[in-house]
Amino acid sequence: MKDTKQPIVEIRNLSKSYHRGAEIIPVLENISFDIPEGEFLALMGPSGSGKSTLLNLIAGIDKADSGTIQVSGLDITSLTETDLTRWRAVNVGFIFQFYNLIPVLTAFENVELPLLLTWLSRKERWEHVEAALHMVNLADRMDHYPGQLSGGQQQRVAIARAIVTDPTILVADEPTGDLDRTSAEDILGLMAILNREFGKTIIMVTHDPHAAEKAHIIRRLEKGILNVHA
């Protein structure tokens, strides 16, 4: 059944290096792989192996040196900065290790933020935000500011923000990295539901083997080279 799925992400010969002065630090070297639609993929590997870098490239917030990344048939490496920004707003939901909520906005307003870039009316926005907060079980906390929420709750707000625009791909960079066991389980369960019941393709970077267990596929990065572990 899985094999019939179309790849939603096709990465071909992707390379990326950083320059520090005259020194060139190669991070990703000639990486090629596919991510099928509706997949829950865990990216693992030692620190500094380039996981975040790869994730950022797939999510369109960083530029590769060479190679292509096709997402739903569109080569995002060929897009201009402005088009890429617009593409992200529609297609990608972001979940970060440190939640990255805006501290002066309430949970509700944080979730509403990405919807400001859409043509939705105030009322429609309200409905979407409410639905998203319901989904992460935080409808009763929507007037709270991030500072008034626990880490796990903040991360749930961040997940609501990531899904409120209904993107096809969710990227998560160590989403449980800053959480205790219970909260982490909570978040991972939520992500599993999003994957299973809402068909979201999820790409998650993690150090945590427990977290990786929730995924269907685990891929390991070792010094910029990709290994497959199903």
Partner 1 sequence: MYMLKLIFRNAFRHKLRTCLTILGITIAILAFGILRTLVNAWYSGVEASSSARLITRNAISLVFSLPLSYKEKIRGIPGVKNVSYAIWFNGTYISEKNFIPNFAIDPKTFLELYPEYTLPEDQKVAFFRDRMAAVAGRKVAERFSWKIGDTIPLKGTNFPGTWNFILRGIYHGAEKSTDETQLFFHWDYLNESLKKTTPNRADQVGIYIIGITNPNLAPEVSEAVDKTFKNSLAETMTETEKAFQLSFVSMTEAIVTVIQLVSFMVIIIIIAVVANTMVMTARERIGEYAIMKTLGFGGWHLAILIFGESLFITMVGCTLGILLTFPSAKIFGAKIGAYFPVFHVSTNTIFLDIGAAILVSLIAAIFPTWHAVKIRVAEGLRRIG
Q: Does 123 bind ligand ATP (CB under 6 A)?
A: no
20 interacts with, out of ligand ATP, partner 1, Mg ion, none, CB within 5 to 8 A per kind: ligand ATP
Binding segment for ligand ATP among 17-25, 64-72, 76-84, 157-165 (CB under 6 A)? 17-25
Please compute, for residue 119, the number of CA atoms within 13 A of its CA located in the half-sphere on the CB side.
Answer: 0
Query: Tokens at residue 195, please?
Result: 């994957």
Ranges within 12-71 binding partner 1 (CB under 8 A):
53, 56, 59, 61-62
Least distance (Å) between residue 109 CB and partner 1: 7
Residue whose CB is less far from Mg ion, 57 or 142: 57
Strands 40-44 and 201-205: parallel
Please say whether the beta carbons of 98 and 130 come within 8 A: no
Q: Does 112 bind partner 1 (CB under 8 A)?
A: yes
How long, in residues, is the chain?
A: 230
74 interacts with, out of partner 1, Mg ion, ligand ATP, none, CB within 5 to 8 A per kind: none
Q: Does 52 bind Mg ion (CB under 5 A)?
A: yes
Residue whose CB is less far from Mg ion, 106 or 206: 206
What gap in Å lies between CA 116 and CA 98, rounded to an integer? 23
Query: Tokens at residue 116, please?
Result: 């400001």
Q: Does 117 bind partner 1 (CB under 8 A)?
A: yes
Binding mask 18-37 for ligand ATP (x = CB under 6 A): x-x----x-x----------
Query: Tokens at residue 222, please?
Result: 């070792």
Nearest to 31 by CA among 223, 229, 230: 223
Least distance (Å) between residue 48 CB and ligand ATP: 4
How many residues bind ligand ATP, per CB under 6 A?
A: 12
Please say whether the beta carbons of 164 and 111 come within 8 A: yes
Least distance (Å) between residue 228 CB and partner 1: 26
Q: Pick from 42, 51, 158, 170 the residue near ligand ATP by CB under 6 A.
A: 51
Q: Pick from 6, 25, 75, 102 the residue near partner 1 by CB under 8 A.
A: 102
Q: Does 96 bind partner 1 (CB under 8 A)?
A: yes
Tell me which residues touch Mg ion (CB under 5 A): 52
- Where does this chain bind ligand ATP (CB under 6 A)? 18, 20, 25, 27, 45, 47-53
